[in-house]
Chains A and B, each alone.
Chain A
Amino acid sequence: MEIKKLEFKKQSSTALTDQNLRKALRNTTDRFRASRKRAYDELEGFEDLRNRAREIKKETIENLPIYLGMLEGNVIKTGGKVHWAQDGEEACRIIVEIARENGVRSVVKSKSMATEEIELNHALEEAGIKAVETDLGEYIIQLAKERPSHIIAPAIHKSKDDISRLFSEKLSIPYYTEPEQLTRVARERLRSEFLSADMGVSGVNFAVAETGTIVVVENEGNARLSTTVPRVHVAVMGIEKVIPRYGDLSIFLPVLVRSATGQKISTYVSFITGPKRKSDMDGPEEFHLVIVDNGRAKILASEETRESLYCIRCGACLNICPVYRQVGGHSYGWVYSGPIGAIITPQLLGAEKAPELPFASSLCGACKDVCPVKIDFPKVLLELRKRVVEGENKDGRGGEAGLLERLLVRLWRISMESKTAYSLLSTLSYFLQFPWLSKNRKLSSLPYPFSEWTNDRDFPAVAKIPFRKRWKEISKI
């Protein structure tokens, strides 16, 4: 699948004009933030848990081949099958193949960012296999033929009215207005899908190397149904989802859930180890684990940005991010949004596909403060900005920065490297500003690119006597 160059600036500009979206974003992010804060404050030692979670992630990533090998071995031991996919296309091919071998006509899916990333639904449909999203939010998104706009709450950009209209049109039902009614309709429709599906596809929140167990965290029960009722269960995970030990879950589960929704624990957590045992009366007969690289291994090569792979997809950084709060998930152009999208998308797709994303942050650092594994977002963003400007090579040429920008920076640097040039620039600016200076000594309509500032904001006037000149007087006192 060919991904076009992502255009954050263009898409975010459109998002900013959507008042309903902005209202929804404020409401959602406020509530998620408040819940997370409550959950954080009430748990003694949360800070220690975060530190420990980060340590374990670091340990895992630095020894990834060993833990992935261990995971593979243990999945096989318990009767499961393991598949490795270098990219999205290969992952889809593998899953379609599993479906064909089993004569699968329909697939139920529970929420998974990895399958969004590889565009599995598209691949299944092309192969003539029906794929139904079963998480309520994902179901809404699938009916609307859209992409999730939030890692945890995929349909938050849709109002209740939007959903009422969507359901009534697509499902040929009356215009229900109550969330209870809408939820009941989804339950009924999806229940029959669960019972008739031959294959269930799930994501993986954690995969435990020492036991071959995959852990799925959810509130609705659709992941339990998807992984229990159909005859075949396929779980899809990125290479970074492995954790070393079963006991590590006592750290990761509370940290994930409290950061994501502010719950102490989610309604359901399933720990799945292989297919059903022979004597079991239910559960899938086949269990397949698809381990996907899709650009991740490449991230490991840079020590500066390696920690991007520590992410456990809780969505806390989205909820705290002032940029996400204004523009929503779709502005980020791909499946991952908010701060994590800004750092992971350019690395997975290549900087040339998403040159704007590393800059789509004011570097305020709020994300770093809430991240359960303490990813240093500003540091990673700065490194990625450098790559955009300098290119991947160390010689500092060949990046995405335009000629004009390079020229301006060069001129600026020359003036900053000498006191005389600096003073000259300052004096020059003082005189140059006069044509634009308004009565209240503000600059209110500067030419491009400064107009990007002055269209909505005044800019201060350059002082007649800068501090360094005043110092001559002051120093004598």
Chain B
Amino acid sequence: MRQQNQSKKKVSLFITCLVDNFFPQVGESMVKVLRKLGVEVDFPVDQTCCGQPAFNSGFQHDAKALAKRFLSIFQDDNCYVVCPSGSCTTMVKIFYRELLKEESRGLELADRLASRTYEFSAFLTNVLHVEDVGASYSGKVTYHDSCHLLRELRIRDEPRKLIKSVKGIDFVEMNLHDACCGFGGTFSIMFPGVSISMLEEKIISIVESGADTIVSTDMGCLMHIEGAMSRRKIPVKVMHIAELLASEL
């Protein structure tokens, strides 16, 4: 990263296709929080999908094509790349190098991109060194660890610190906080029965925690969890961490 610490930090938003098409308010919340913290935000308009769905389904040729496209869009080494998803961040930060390991040019670009790509909550805590963004929210909140964020990117405490610093929050840890919710992309459609059984255990865990709001870093997990809760009329609110941190900002 050539960028000077003193100068204003620049961020290229990597808005996942889920957030773009289904949950645009998450992207807006990110912008709000980042701007509040004095970051210059840009959104490369040519971006589409990072290729993870194809990669996870075994279509690596197709994923590779999208990875190269992504690399050409996020080429500016002066910008951090920040993403509202642990899973898509993992794709770019870790799996691109796997995918492009036989192509020296691609691998070099992937390495450089990896070093400046961050999941949103990790960017706030580990790059901006902020825990309290100044948000307020009144409610009993629990947190779901997204699998990729936790086990590929090793980020456990960062989002919790941010959540606990929000004024008015009563934070409660649920029992199975680090168990997979059963989403797993196409897994949820290929094996719906297994996926739902996993999800049901997760929901029991959420309800038993007594929380009125569940927060996570990934809309994949959250739309999965919300999908079952809304069907079962369980009145727990689902929130992306960016939305929470933008509350009353």
Contact = CB atoms under 8 A, between A and B. Distances in A.
Interface size class of B (residues with CB under 8 A): 35 or more
A453 B184 CA distance: 12
B192 to A, nearest CB: 4
Contacts of B187: 359, 361-363
Interface of A: 8-9, 12-13, 16, 22, 322-323, 326-327, 358-366, 368-369, 378-379, 382, 385-390, 396, 399, 401, 409-410, 412-413, 415-419, 422, 426, 429, 440, 442, 444, 449-450, 452-453, 455-463, 465-468, 470-471, 474-475
29 contacts: A22-B197, A323-B191, A323-B198, A359-B186, A365-B151, A366-B178, A382-B98, A385-B58, A399-B58, A401-B58, A409-B57, A410-B62, A412-B53, A412-B62, A413-B54, A416-B51, A417-B69, A422-B48, A449-B189, A452-B188, A456-B192, A456-B196, A456-B231, A457-B224, A457-B228, A460-B223, A463-B22, A467-B20, A470-B24
Contacts of A396: 61
B58 A466 contact: no
A462 B148 CA distance: 25
Contacts of A385: 56-58
B249 to A, nearest CB: 14
Interface in B48-92: 48-49, 51, 53-62, 65-66, 69
B183 interface: yes
B23 A463 contact: yes
Contacts of A463: 21-24
B49 A453 contact: no
A12 B98 contact: no
A416 B48 contact: yes
Interface centre among B19, B21, B180, B223 (most CB of A within 10 A): B21
Contacts of A359: 57-58, 186-187, 190-191
B241 to A, nearest CB: 17
Given A361-B187, A401-B58, A419-B46, A440 B230 contact: yes
Given A9-B190, A459-B227, A460-B226, A389 B58 contact: yes
A76 B171 CA distance: 65
A13 B193 contact: yes
B232 to A, nearest CB: 9
Contacts of B45: 419, 468, 471
A468 B184 contact: no
A446 to B, nearest CB: 11
A12 B193 contact: yes
A386 B54 CA distance: 10
Contacts of A358: 58
A409 B46 CA distance: 20
Contacts of A470: 24, 27-28
A466 B153 CA distance: 28
A364 B184 contact: yes
